[in-house]
Copies of this chain bind each other. A is one copy, B any other.
Amino acid sequence: MENHQIRSTPEPSLRRLARYLDLLHKLQKDGQISISSTQIGNELSSDPTQVRKDIEYTGIIGKPKTGYVISELIYAIETFFNWNNVSDAFLVGAGNLGRAILGYGHFKKYGLNIVSAFDVSPDLIGTEIYNIPVLDYEKLTNLSQRMKIHIGVITTPVECAQEVADKLIEGGIKAIWNFAPIHLKVPEGIIVEHTHLTQSLAVLTKNLHKQFLLDDKFSGEL
């Protein structure tokens, strides 16, 4: 009973694959037909071998000398992430960030279709944001059960995030994309992806700090 898990793709590879996809869409628009790992590496400042290893996870096989056909590679990555089948999702918390996410119309290309937003504010309930209706938070559990929604996006203030998560799970949700800066406690088998911007800021400021030290200027200030 040691290790029966499926050999799963490393998380860094998953993140890089998403970036390759962005690049591929762009190059395809520019009319390019095929691409090598070397070129991807050049474009994204990463190592060609690593690019090949990442791409291997999608199952596609390239050709020596030419690399991969862009359209096939796009299809392989999308299939790998199952982004050809779009999942409906609910978003809870129609504040600034929620609004920004509702306004970003491209998630459908990444398998996510937000069908309703929920909020407690009477001013918002009944309105539409970018054609997505804002409904009463009280109806969340009932609706997600009836509509068989599997993904919930939490963009509420941190104080209510755990309660919202509980409600979502009660309504049958399987995966939560959490933007509130709190670690959600969820039962086994529920997926949580925690996206908090201060984490990125931590990396940014630390690197900036390091760079300043390397530059040997500013050292007095730091």
Contact = CB atoms under 8 A, between A and B. Distances in A.
A15 interface: yes
Contacts of A95: 103
Interface residues of A, number: 69
Given A19-B183, A207-B191, A202 B43 contact: no
Contacts of A193: 200-201, 203-204, 207
A209 interface: yes
A83 interface: yes
Interface in A2-53: 6, 8-9, 11, 14-15, 17-19, 21-23, 26, 43-45
B174 A206 contact: no
B100 A18 contact: no
A211 interface: yes
Interface in A165-194: 174-175, 177, 181-183, 189, 191, 193-194
Nearest to A222: B82
B100 A151 contact: no
Interface of A is mostly: helix
Contacts of A22: 181-182, 196, 198
Nearest to A180: B22
28 contacts: A14-B202, A14-B206, A17-B202, A18-B196, A18-B199, A18-B202, A19-B183, A21-B198, A22-B196, A22-B198, A82-B205, A85-B222, A87-B208, A95-B103, A96-B103, A97-B104, A104-B197, A107-B197, A107-B201, A110-B201, A110-B202, A110-B205, A175-B205, A177-B200, A177-B204, A193-B200, A193-B201, A195-B200
**Ranked 3 nearest A-B pairs via Cβ:** A193-B204, A100-B100, A18-B202
